[in-house]
Structure 1
Amino acid sequence: MFVYSSTHLIPKFRKWRLHVGKISCANVLSDLYAMGVTDTDNMLMLLGVSNKMSEKERDIVVPMMMRGFKDQAEEGGTAVTGGQTVINPWMTIGGVATTVCQSNEFIM
């Protein structure tokens, strides 16, 4: 048995807030797919929320990013089971995908 994990983070973006959650999730999953792994056992979301945004801005942008990430995970056949959210100067989003597989289930 092998454990394969992929982590990706999109830092300091300014545009595409509607789609950045989907893009981030797709980047995490694509690392697994590149190794021939088709099933993801666990997906975590890593979210950095900017303290430079107003509360009103955060209330709009953050749920859209999270929804995009979650929707893309479901499209990839997995679900977001947890993660971490931090407050910092920059908006960031990323994730961790993990799978347990046998040697014949991935390309090395």
Structure 2
Amino acid sequence: MDLPPDKAKLLRNYDLEKKWEIICDQDMVQAKDSPAHYLNKLRTYLDPKASRSHRKRKMVGDSTSTQVLRDLEISLRTNHIEWVREFLNEQNQGLDVLIDFR
């Protein structure tokens, strides 16, 4: 877990039962959006038809490209490893999309 020092200290003071409860709760967390959700948005930004106007290039729905990348970063850091693997798999090709996006 990436915690600030004060929160890490608090966590270290929990008893083993409380720590186990936190771990079990973490396993129940569901990803808000699928890898395909982010990849579809990024691919829309890469679409030459959508990039004709500068405004369309920067906005998809109510999200800017910067916001989509920030949200994707958070998802890559906080979701289970299976989510990351799905993002990177041959079907989704998430790494290729990110490289093309730069």
User: What TM-score does the superposition give when structure 1 sets the normalisation length?
Assistant: 0.30
Return the structure number with greater relative CO, CA threshold 8 A, min gap 6. Answer: 1
Hey, which of these two has a bigger chunk of helix by percent?
2
Tell me which structure has the larger Cα radius of gyration: 2
Q: Relative to total residues, which structure has the larger strand share, 1 or 2?
A: 1
